[in-house]
Amino acid sequence: MTDMSTQMPQKSRTVGRVVAIARKEFHTGIRSDALQIIFGLLLTATVLVFWASSRSADPTVLSAIGVLGLPFQLLIPVAVITLATGSIAGERATGSLKVLLGLPPSRTEVVVGTFLGATGVLVAGLSATFVIAAVLAVAFFGTLAVGPLVSVVSAAFLLGMAFLGFSVGLSAAASTTKRAMTAGFGGFLGLTFLWEPILAGVYYLVTGSGPSGELPGWVLLIDQMNPIEAYAVVANMAGDVGVTPLRISIGLGGQSAAAEWASTAIPTVLLEPLSFGVLCSWVVLPLVAGMYWFQRSDLT
Amino acid sequence: MAAIELDNLTKRYGDSLAVDGVSLTVESGEAVGFIGPNGAGKSTTIDMLLDFVRPTDGTARVFGYDAQTETRSVHERIGVVPDGYALYDRLTGREHLQLAARLKETSVDVPAVCDRVGLDVEDADRPSKEYSKGMGQRLAIGMATVGNPALLIFDEPTAGLDPHGIARLQELLTAEVDRGTTVFYSSHLLEHVEDTCDRIAILDEGRLVGVDTIDGLRAAVGSATLTLQELFTVYTEKEGRPSVAAGGAD
Number of compact structural domains in chain B: 2
- B51 CA to chain A: closest CA distance, Å? 8
Q: Is residue B141 part of a domain?
A: yes
Residues 19-48 of B with CB under 8 A from A: 47
Distance, CA of A242 to CA of A250 (rounded, Å): 20
**ipTM, 2 decimals?**
0.90
**What is this structure's pTM?**
0.90
Note whether B64 and B95 are same-domain residues.
no
pLDDT confidence of A5, banded at 50, 70, 90? very low
Note whether B162 and B117 are same-domain residues.
no
Distances (CA, A) of A174 to A87, A102, A165, B44: 11, 20, 14, 21
Q: Which of A14, A15, A24 to mutate to test the interface with B (most CBs of B within 10 A)?
A: A24
Nearest CA in chain A to B145: A103
Cα B197 from chain centre: 11
Note whether B154 and B243 are same-domain residues.
yes
pLDDT confidence of B246, banded at 50, 70, 90? very low
Q: What pLDDT does residue A3 have?
A: 47
Nearest CB to B71 within list A16, A106, A298: A106
Nearest CB to B88 within list A96, A101, A106: A96
Note whether B12 and B57 are same-domain residues.
yes
Distance, CA of B133 to CA of B10 (rounded, Å): 32
Mean confidence (pLDDT) of chain A: 87
Chain A residues with CB-CB distance to B54 below 8 A: 298
- Supply angle C-alpha A30, A33, A36, rounded to 5: 60
Give A47's DSSP letter. H
Q: Is residue B47 part of a domain?
A: yes
What is the three-class DSSP state of A280?
helix
**Which residues does B203 contact at the CB level (< 8 Å), separation at least 6?**
B22, B34, B35, B36, B40, B41, B42, B45, B209
Nearest CA in chain B to A96: B86
Choose between A166 and A35: higher pLDDT. Answer: A166
Note whether B154 and B130 are same-domain residues.
no
Choose between B78 and B159: higher pLDDT. Answer: B78
B88/A1 Cβ within 8 A: no
Is it the case that residue B145 has pLDDT exceeding 50? Answer: yes
Question: Quick one: which H or E segment has residue B216?
Answer: helix B214-220
Note whether B244 and B157 are same-domain residues.
yes
Is it the case that residue B244 has pLDDT exceeding 60? Answer: no
A95/B84 Cβ within 8 A: yes
Q: What pLDDT does residue A264 have?
A: 61
pLDDT confidence of B240, banded at 50, 70, 90? very low
pLDDT confidence of A221, banded at 50, 70, 90? confident
The residue range of the domain holding B48 is 2-77+150-248
> What integer is the mean pLDDT of A179-193?
95
A34 CB near a chain B CB, below 8 Å? no
> What integer is the mean pLDDT of B76-102?
95
pLDDT confidence of B247, banded at 50, 70, 90? very low
B105 CB near a chain A CB, below 8 Å? yes
- B234 CA to chain A: closest CA distance, Å? 30
- Supply angle C-alpha B154, B157, B159, rounded to 5: 145
Percent of chain B residues topping a pLDDT of 90:
86
Q: What pLDDT does residue B243 have?
A: 46
Q: What pLDDT does residue A2 have?
A: 46
CATH of the domain at B20: 3.40.50.300
Is it the case that residue A257 has pLDDT exceeding 70? Answer: no
B133 CB near a chain A CB, below 8 Å? no
Q: What pLDDT does residue B76 have?
A: 95
Note whether B57 and B95 are same-domain residues.
no
Give A215's DSSP letter. P
The model's pLDDT over B7-22, given as tens digits with 9 standing for 90+, comes to 999 999 999 999 999 9
Dump the DSSP string for B104-149: TTS---HHHHHHHHT--GGGGGSBGGGS-HHHHHHHHHHHHHTT--
Among candidate residues B123, B149, B175, the one where a domain is terminated: B149
Q: What pLDDT does residue A1 have?
A: 44
Choose between A209 and B3: higher pLDDT. Answer: B3
Q: What pLDDT does residue B50 have?
A: 96
Note whether B65 and B165 are same-domain residues.
yes
Q: Is residue B82 part of a domain?
A: no
Among candidate residues B128, B149, B170, the one where a domain is terminated: B149
Note whether B17 and B134 are same-domain residues.
no
Distance, CA of A195 to CA of A272 (rounded, Å): 20
Nearest CB to A94 within list B75, B86, B100: B86
pLDDT confidence of B239, banded at 50, 70, 90? low
> What integer is the mean pLDDT of A31-60?
88
Closest by CA to B87, choosing from B124, B52, B50, is: B124
Choose between A145 and B152: higher pLDDT. Answer: B152
Chain A residues with CB-CB distance to B81 below 8 A: 102
A106/B82 Cβ within 8 A: no
The model's pLDDT over A90-133, given as tens digits with 9 standing for 90+, comes to 999 999 999 999 999 999 999 999 999 999 999 999 999 999 99
**Which residues does B49 contact at the CB level (< 8 Å), separation at least 6?**
B4, B6, B60, B62, B67, B153
